[in-house]
A = this chain, B = another copy of it.
């Protein structure tokens, strides 16, 4: 494999180093007997060399995917980071960009996945007693029960409303398959890019309108300092689906109980479905709802997706869940949960049993305590970053209830600010405009990082902006 090929394999939002030395492997396996055999006959269909590059099928490319602008945001950020690292091979690049967790998974949780704790261990998979094959597509009952009691204890959510998944991002696309191409949707502007991009892919949107930096047919609910990052619902057009993330990625703001009550009423008045993303709920410091289901009547107009990624450092382990209350009905009275279950059973085979064992450990008293400590550490990082930008006279938002700091650079282009910070401090951030047009002029600084890196990054920010 040539270096250029190796380079070309690195299309990705991040690079993980936990596996190494491909060459060893290639060398080892090249002699393996069951490797495929060279074809012996039928040169009849062999295509002459010069034609190889010109043959195209007669299959039309999906016009919806062709609507997508550039790459998905985070791979784009990663590409620019990688280009920077090639330009400055000796620079100590610090990434406060894509919001990837950096602190170790608490041992009480990994041991459940690897040693002999709790109800499951990986070794057991190599024993007759411990082996398990296909699990329930919806997740193992004990984990569903633990999620219900831990996060929805007295909110009337039942175990069979919980669908365990390999992450909220994955469930968002499965939800889009459930909704189909003909529904209309609204998103907070700015918002996590997966909502919009998955809508584009499913064909729910029009073309991208360069002048507005928006896709047609999507309702962008503007969230800025002027409205306290909560949309003016009186100006929001009715849509079938409303994606709403609180605590919010990227702005770091959290909606109050009163605001979410208005949102639920708005959905009820319009007969809309709220897809509530609570992936950062455990970062909440204020007394705001951690679940949409804390709002009376929400079960009839909302479903909720969440994740272990930012609680237990499971970004690479992959585990999340979605709550679809049986009270949530389509206009014809059919339960949304039944269609979601059908898509789960057709397009998914359940989260890894090993990861589910880890999730169960996360929700044990020890696991909850350990997760709180990890979250507390990142919240300290958040304070350090907020203090830094405040001391430099910037208007800084978010942070208090989320691991993201939303820094305002009025009148500047987010990508320009991103590039200047990267060029002059070797720190990777995320340009606000990547989350939507209302993010223009902002940069998102993630609090996920080792303490010394966060301190070093803040030192460089102070040098740059003093």
Contact = CB atoms under 8 A, between A and B. Distances in A.
A49 to B, nearest CB: 12
Interface string A120-149: 111111111011111111101111111011
A86 interface: no
Copies of chain A in the complex: 2
A347 interface: yes
A197 to B, nearest CB: 5
Most chain-B CB neighbours within 10 Å: which of A29, A123, A203, A357? A29
Interface in A8-52: 8-23, 25-26, 28-30, 32, 34-47, 52
B318 A352 contact: yes
A272 to B, nearest CB: 7
A146 B39 contact: no
A331 B56 contact: yes
Contact of A138 (B11, B29, B66): B11
A313 B36 contact: no
B332 A56 contact: yes
30 contacts: A6-B159, A9-B141, A11-B341, A18-B120, A22-B146, A25-B146, A25-B360, A29-B368, A32-B153, A32-B365, A32-B368, A39-B294, A41-B257, A45-B265, A55-B327, A56-B330, A56-B331, A60-B183, A62-B183, A105-B126, A105-B131, A107-B126, A110-B125, A113-B354, A114-B114, A173-B177, A181-B203, A197-B346, A318-B350, A318-B351
A249 B312 CA distance: 39
Contacts of A115: 114, 123
Contacts of A287: 37
A455 interface: no
A317 B29 CA distance: 23
Contacts of A40: 257
A219 to B, nearest CB: 14
A12 to B, nearest CB: 4
Contacts of A197: 346
Nearest to A115: B114
B119 A29 contact: no
A98 interface: yes
B131 A313 contact: yes
B105 A64 contact: no
A411 interface: no
Contact of A353 (B18, B146, B155): B18
Given A6-B141, A22-B159, A300-B47, A60 B107 contact: no
Given A141-B19, A144-B9, A57 B272 contact: yes
Interface residues of A, number: 192
B352 A72 contact: no
Contacts of A295: 39, 42, 45
The 10 closest A-B pairs by CB, nearest first: A58-B271, A114-B122, A173-B347, A22-B145, A12-B136, A62-B180, A18-B132, A100-B133, A9-B160, A35-B153
A13 B134 contact: yes
Given A18-B130, A126-B105, A170-B349, A138 B9 contact: yes
Given A115-B114, A134-B14, A201 B120 contact: no
Contact of A110 (B53, B126, B202, B297): B126
A255 to B, nearest CB: 13
Interface in A328-371: 328-334, 339, 341-343, 345-357, 360, 363-365, 368
A261 interface: yes
Interface string A363-396: 1110010001000000000000000000000000
